A and B are shown apart, each in its own frame.
Chain A
Amino acid sequence: MQKFEKLTGLVAPLDRANVDTDAIIPKQYLKSIKRTGFGPSLFDAWRYLDPGEPGIDHSKRRINPAFILNQARYRGAQILLARDNFGCGSSREHAPWALMDYGFRVIVAPSYADIFYNNSFKNGLLPIVLKADAVDRLFKETEATAGYSLTIDLAAQTVTTASGAEFKFDIDGFRKHCLLNGLDDIELTLQHVAEIRAYEQRRRQQAPWLFADKAGA
Chain B
Amino acid sequence: MAAKTLYDKLWDAHVVRQNDDDTCLLYIDRHLVHEVTSPQAFEGLKLAHRKVWRVDANLATADHNVPTTQRARGISDPVSRLQIETLDQNCHEHHITEFGMNDPRQGIVHVIGPEQGATLPGMTVVCGDSHTSTHGAFGTLAFGIGTSEVEHVLATQCLIQKKSKNMCVRVEGQIPLGVTAKDMVLAIIGKIGTAGGNGHAIEFAGSAIEQLSIEGRMTVCNMAIEAGARVGMIAADDKTVEYFRGRPYAPKGDNWDAAVQAWRDLKTDSGATFDKEVVLNAADIKPQVTWGTSPEMVVAIDGNVPDPEKENDSTKRTGMQQALKYMGLKSGTPIRDIRLDKIFIGSCTNSRIEDLRAAASVVKGKKVASTISLALVVPGSGLVKTQAEKEGLDQIFKAAGFEWREPGCSMCLAMNADRLEPGERCASTSNRNFEGRQGAGGRTHLVSPAMAAAAAIAGHFVDVRELN
Contact = CB atoms under 8 A, between A and B. Distances in A.
Interface of A: 15-18, 20, 22-23, 26-28, 30-35, 45, 51, 54-55, 83-85, 88-93, 96, 111-115, 118-119, 122-123, 172-174, 185-186, 188-190, 192, 195-196, 199-200, 203, 207-217
A122 B40 contact: no
Given A30-B36, A88-B194, A186-B152, A207 B259 contact: yes
Given A207-B262, A209-B255, A213-B56, A33 B83 contact: yes
9 contacts: A18-B195, A20-B432, A30-B36, A31-B36, A33-B39, A90-B130, A118-B145, A118-B146, A118-B149
A55 B434 CA distance: 24
Given A18-B319, A209-B120, 16 more contacts: A16-B319, A17-B319, A18-B294, A23-B436, A31-B65, A31-B80, A33-B43, A35-B40, A45-B435, A91-B129, A113-B195, A196-B157, A209-B255, A213-B56, A214-B248, A216-B255
A22 to B, nearest CB: 4
A125 B23 CA distance: 20
B155 A190 contact: yes
Contacts of A188: 160
A172 B29 contact: no
B79 A31 contact: yes
A79 to B, nearest CB: 20
Contact of A217 (B155, B229, B255, B413): B255
A115 B21 contact: no
Given A23-B436, A115-B230, A119-B148, A174 B415 contact: no
A156 to B, nearest CB: 19
A55 B130 contact: no
A91 B247 CA distance: 29
Contacts, number: 203
Contacts of B48: 186
B434 A195 contact: no
Interface in B136-171: 144-149, 151-152, 155-158, 160, 162, 164
B158 to A, nearest CB: 6
| Most chain A CB inside 10 Å of its own CB: which residue of B258, B259, B315 | B315
A174 B27 contact: no
B21 A172 contact: yes
Contacts of B322: 16
Contacts of B300: none
B133 to A, nearest CB: 10
A112 B230 CA distance: 12
Interface string B334-371: 00000000000000000000000000000000000000
A28 B79 CA distance: 9
Contact of A186 (B151, B251, B437): B151
A79 B277 CA distance: 36
A54 B83 CA distance: 13
B252 A217 contact: yes
A22 B415 contact: no
Contacts of B36: 30-31, 92
